Structure 1
Amino acid sequence: MALLPIRRIIRPQGRPLGPLTMYQPLPENGLDQIDPFLLLHHHGPQTFPAHNTGLPFGPHPHRGFETVTFIYEGDVQHRDSNGYESTIRGGGVQWMTAGSGLVHSETSSADFRRDGGPVELIQLWINLPARLKMTPPDYRGLQEDDIPVAAEGGASLAVVSGTWSGVAGPVASSTELATLTLAPAGGYTREIPAGKSILFYVLNGSATVNGQAVQGRALVVFGEESGTIEVRSDSGCRILWGIADPIREPVVAHGPFVMNTGDEIRQAIADYQSGKMGFLE
């Protein structure tokens, strides 16, 4: 199978978000989404001092999509109006289905606020099709030990969903997600059938992707043709990789709500304001 052509490489600029430095390669000028991947925020890597205020994501609502938070360093304390609560440490993942709507917060543990330390996170928003937008909310917190790893040829894949190199992830989803880590001189190859959407974000290090050099903090944009993605690294790198079927439905987004029509957005706002998504102090 021929190498899948690269259409574009996006290198976001950092900007402050409270105490964090945030990089947003998606959405970006000229690229609203990689259907169904709606948004990618890369926070850090950076070091918080002792006696810090922690992550700045206090209570806020969501409806109509899923949020997946990859905690590479530091920790994230999740609370939501459905009663789910957990603190996930470095190497873990939080997968939240907002569905019909809830209020949640993502902050740092008391230990982290007291002691400080390194922080690196990615938050990914994944759209839901119209038939699932009002599904009951759900949450799953995975520590590093809950995430199986596939290893081959100097590559290791922390598999969150889907099946990679024969290893199935713990989250049942039509979206396949894994973090690929390449050791120096490592490589990994995967064939992609036609019609798939590819999320391919190089967090750090340097890689050669289908023959093209890519430095860290870069989103590599592919088309929907069939083909092979071949990645190699001389010095080592880490990549967030997602594969999904596009939904191909209208997207109307307003802040924390992602629906199919303007009327649905207005209803989401009214439901949140009237308390139908619950409350979180």
Structure 2
Amino acid sequence: MKTKTVELVAAPPSPHFVGDGFRVHNFIPGGFRMDMKRMDPFIMMDYNSKYVFPPATKPKGVGVHPHRGFETVTIAYKGRVAHHDSGGGGGVIGEGDIQWMTAASGVLHKEYHEEAWSKKGGEFQMVQLWVNLPKKDKMSPPKYQAIKYDTINRVALENNAGTIEVIAGEYQGTLGVASTFSPVNMMNAKLKKGGKASFQFPANFNTVLLAIEGSFIINGTEQVPTDHLALMANDGDQFEVEASEDSVILVLSGEPLNEPIAAQGPFVMNTREEIAEAIDDYNLGKFGHLED
């Protein structure tokens, strides 16, 4: 066993709006050496840090848009989002829920603040990830996984240190409820002040930790403040975190696909020719229909 060290700790980039309902910091692909190839299979991460939306009669959000070649994963920490896609998926995700949409061969999608929540307004906090699909699965049928908070498997840590919520992958023999196309670990570490948790992932897995709440220390040396992202080096397979205060840490670790990446807007394929085909298929209406 060898310790996995910290490559860098990144402050949240300047925020921008996606549509009018998501105020996000774009960590991946980012200017901290975290491009799509380095972070593979995590090819995009938008983090909507805590932000208060005032009450609105018309729900804010993002209108109909296409996706092909990857999966979108939205983790709700604060607020509620309604969503629909042309494959028939949809519903509402509230605090603690996860929306895992496999766009694959192509879907149209829209997402808005849930209507009742929008009328009241309030604190909003979410993470959206794009997880790349292997070449063999990019044109598979779209599918949808609605993961409710109370269905997530949990591991209670020793010494009353906290809990690990396993969304995907495995922690100490406990499996996540999400199905994945390649090895992906995704979990929330909810630690009490002074609580410690150890993680073990293969050295070649690309691994990041995002401080959703509180702050924490990695391997007893590297401090990660609130809303900051720690990128782990590919030099070992285990590391330890300790909460400096009550904390929530999003832990991501995935095996790189090591396949060519061609990306343009909402399409992520392996070649430029496949991108051109995706654009043509979208313009020809092959992604289905969805009312805005």
TM-score, scaled to structure 2: 0.92
**Residue of structure 1 in register with 2:212 after alignment:** 203
**Residue of structure 1 in register with 2:28 after alignment:** 26
2:99 aligned with 1:81, yes or no?
Answer: no
**Residue of structure 2 in register with 1:162 after alignment:** 169
Following the alignment from structure 2 to structure 1, what is the Cα–Cα distance between the partners of residues 228 and 3? 19
**Residue of structure 2 in register with 1:227 after alignment:** 237
**Residue of structure 2 in register with 1:171 after alignment:** 178
Q: Give 1:129-140 correspondences, 5 Å limit.
A: 129-140=134-145
Q: Which of 42, 45, 50 is residue 47 of structure 2 equivalent to? A: 42
When the two chains are superposed, the root-mean-square deviation of aligned CA atoms in Å is 1.5
Report the alpha carbon displacement of residue 20 of structure 1 after superposing the two structures with TM: 3.8
Following the alignment from structure 1 to structure 2, what is the Cα–Cα distance between the partners of residues 3 and 55? 44
**Residue of structure 2 in register with 1:187 after alignment:** 196
Residue 8 of structure 1 contacts residue 220 of structure 1 at CA under 8 Å; is this kept in 2?
yes
Cα distance change, pair 20–97 in 1 and its aligned pair in 2 (3 A): closer
271-280 or 157-166, which moves further after superposition? 157-166
Q: Which of 268, 278, 292 is residue 258 of structure 1 equivalent to? A: 268
Gapped regions of structure 2 (runs ≥ 5): none
Report the alpha carbon displacement of residue 19 of structure 1 after superposing the two structures with TM: 4.7
Q: Which of 92, 99, 103 is residue 98 of structure 1 equivalent to? A: 103
Report the alpha carbon displacement of residue 181 of structure 1 after superposing the two structures with TM: 1.2
143-152 or 266-275, which moves further after superposition? 143-152
Question: What are the Cα deviations for residues 225-270 of structure 1, in whole angstroms up to 9, with x where unaligned?
Answer: 2232110012122111122111011111100000011000000001
Residue 198 of structure 1 contacts residue 242 of structure 1 at CA under 8 Å; is this kept in 2?
yes
Report the alpha carbon displacement of residue 100 of structure 1 after superposing the two structures with TM: 0.3
Cα distance change, pair 110–277 in 1 and its aligned pair in 2 (3 A): same
Following the alignment from structure 1 to structure 2, what is the Cα–Cα distance between the partners of residues 123 and 276? 25
Following the alignment from structure 2 to structure 1, what is the Cα–Cα distance between the partners of residues 279 and 132? 18
Question: What are the Cα deviations for residues 160-201 of structure 1, in whole angstroms up to 9, with x where unaligned?
Answer: 111112321111222111111111111100122232121322
Work out the number of aligned pairs and report it.
281
Could you tell me which amino acid in structure 1 is paired with residue 259 of structure 2?
Answer: E
Q: Secondary structure at the match of 1:46?
A: strand
Residue 49 of structure 2 contacts residue 227 of structure 2 at CA under 8 Å; is this kept in 1?
no
Following the alignment from structure 1 to structure 2, what is the Cα–Cα distance between the partners of residues 194 and 48? 41
Report the alpha carbon displacement of residue 52 of structure 1 after superposing the two structures with TM: 5.1
Q: Secondary structure at the match of 1:112?
A: helix
Could you tell me which amino acid in structure 1 is paired with residue 27 of structure 2?
Answer: P
**Residue of structure 2 in register with 1:67 after alignment:** 72
Could you tell me which amino acid in structure 1 is paired with residue 13 of structure 2?
Answer: Q
Following the alignment from structure 2 to structure 1, what is the Cα–Cα distance between the partners of residues 46 and 112? 16
2:241 aligned with 1:239, yes or no?
Answer: no
Report the alpha carbon displacement of residue 35 of structure 1 after superposing the two structures with TM: 1.0
59-68 or 144-153, which moves further after superposition? 144-153
Could you tell me which amino acid in structure 1 is paired with residue 103 of structure 2?
Answer: A
Cα distance change, pair 217–268 in 1 and its aligned pair in 2 (3 A): same
Question: What are the Cα deviations for residues 15-46 of structure 1, in whole angstroms up to 9, with x where unaligned?
Answer: 23135431111111232121111111111312
Q: Secondary structure at the match of 1:118?
A: strand
More strand by share: 1
Cα distance change, pair 167–52 in 1 and its aligned pair in 2 (3 A): farther
Residue 20 of structure 1 contacts residue 44 of structure 1 at CA under 8 Å; is this kept in 2?
no
13-22 or 152-161, which moves further after superposition? 13-22
Q: Which of 221, 226, 245 is residue 216 of structure 1 equivalent to? A: 226
